[in-house]
Amino acid sequence: LVVLVADACGKGVSAAILISIVSGELKSCLAGRLSPAAALARVNARLLAAECDNKFVTLLMVVIDTQSGSLEVLNAGHFDPLLRRSDGTVVRLGADSRRLPLGIEADVGCSPTEERLAPGEALVLFSDGLADAMNNENECYRVERIVQAIESSDHQDASSLVEYLIRDVRAFVGE
């Protein structure tokens, strides 16, 4: 199972088109049996060849072996995925292997971080919409608060954990 979280520079139609291109290219590369790292390198090269001035994409790719629970994490400038262990501690995955966003320079050089997802653990992936949620005092929710919320949650299943996190963000943002 391949899970992607991506965010294109900009807004509106041009950002949506850029994400559509990246998504389609990645699906094609992965269906063609390229490794995840090679697929990211190819998509990066195509973005650079298209000369999309000041356009880039942050992208997080997680390849999950649903039988063994092994994870392969590749990060091109996106927020690190958070792994909530069964004891409640939260680990940031792949911070040392994060690379520049796609479309910035030729050598994206994404090397995977490998981890295992055990029973009772949760993997949390998110975009800037969560980390940058702002309250009335113009303070952002921030990654540190996401980690604290996940650590303080006693919710064991994914749906409950997500609902808890959304409630915490809404309480932070207020009116």
Using CA atoms, how far apart are residues 83 and 19, in angstroms rounded to an integer? 26
Closest CA to 20 of 10, 32, 30, 6: 6
pLDDT single digits (tens) 48-100? 888 766 789 999 999 999 999 999 999 999 999 999 998 889 999 988 888 89
DSSP structural state of residue 54: T
Whether residue 139 is predicted with pLDDT greater than 70 in this model: the reply is yes
Position 172 scores a pLDDT of 97
Whether residue 26 is predicted with pLDDT greater than 80 in this model: the reply is yes
For residue 106, name the pLDDT band (cuts at 50, 70, 90): confident
Q: What is the pTM of this model?
A: 0.88
Strands 57-64 and 70-76, bridge-based pairing = antiparallel
CA 93-120-7 angle, to 5 degrees, is 40
Kindly state the tokens that stand for 17: 């088109």
Kindly state the tokens that stand for 24: 């389609």
Position 53 scores a pLDDT of 67
Torsion sign (Cα): 113, 101, 173, 136: positive
Closest CA to 102 of 32, 1, 29, 12: 29
Closest CA to 77 of 23, 5, 152: 5
